[in-house]
Structure 1
Amino acid sequence: MKKNLSLTALICLIIVAISSVSCSKNDDPADNDLFVGTYKGHISYTDADGKKSADNGSVTVVKAGGEYYFRFSDGIPDLKGVRFKKDGDHTLVNIDLKEGLHFVRIDASSLTILYTKDNKVWTANAKR
């Protein structure tokens, strides 16, 4: 009985956590410490093995603190640990310029990515 009660409490806690972290389409990633949003549109990835692309792909953006995680659909590898600075009221521009070309622009309604790292290229032109 105690195990069932603990399991039920854990499931309820997970449901509350997910519902409080998920963001509406009007939520702006620049204004939230925690942000989860999905952008849909054209995505692509190129590496030494070739190119993958999708006209109706998606990118799920997860922000925790100051770092962003971009989860691509269609078998495209994810981008992790991307950092931004605020550019204006509601736009974020990537500041991670260690190597390669890094252009990521995100706001409440659109996501644009041109990101190169280790001879790999991610692109996205997507909307929410």
Structure 2
Amino acid sequence: MKKTIQIFSMLLIALTVMSSCKKDTDPADRDFFVGTYRGTVSYSKGDTQINSTDGKVTVTKVSDTYSFFFGNNIPDITGVKFQESGNTYISVGTGVVGITIDANNLKIGVSNTNGTWTANCTR
């Protein structure tokens, strides 16, 4: 019985150590860029020009696509997929190429039929 308790205790310690190591997971292995970024944002389409040095972009994820919700009356960018490149993710797909994101930075340079978006934000 003493041996069983000793083995159980060692397993419990090992599980505790393994679960605490998960906090050190490489950010590229999880959805680390979901959240709010702040910085310079802009949007233009035709006569509409919106610029802000105090803008914000909120990034959300549903399934395997991401959405970028802007403040300042800037239209949202939705349905974006990413490809990993080291610890940085790069947007892929028609009409949304030009978004890079990592643990601390969001850069957007997207131009399509719906307008042109730029962002240089951090969190």
TM-score under structure 2 length normalisation: 0.72
Q: Is the 8 A contact 2:110 2:116 kept in 1?
A: yes
Show the counterpart of 2:81: 83
Residue matched to 1:93:
90
The Cα shift of 1:49 comes to: 2.8
- Contact 2:33/2:101, CA 8 A, preserved across alignment: no
Query: Matches of 1:59 and 1:31 in 2, distance apart?
Result: 22
The whole-number CA distance in structure 2 between the counterparts of 1:83 and 1:119 is: 18
Within a 5 Å distance, the mapping from 1:1-128 to structure 2 comes to 28=27, 30-32=28-30, 36-88=34-86, 90-96=87-93, 98-99=94-95, 102-118=97-113, 120-128=115-123
- Percentage of pairs with the same residue: 41
C-alpha contact 1:45 1:53 (8 A) present in aligned 2: yes
Q: Deviations over 1:1-50 (max 9, x none)?
A: xxxxxxxxxxxxxxxxxxxxxxxxxx94x433586310000000000132
Q: 1:33 touches 1:64 (CA, 8 Å); kept in 2? A: no
Runs of at least 5 residues in structure 1 that lack an aligned partner in the other structure: 1-26
TM-score by length of 1: 0.69
Q: Secondary structure at the match of 1:102?
A: coil
**Misfit runs of 4+, over 2 Å:** 30-36
Unmatched tracts of structure 2, length 5 or more: 1-25
1:119, CA displacement in angstroms?
A: 5.2
Q: Residue type matched to 2:59 in 1?
A: V
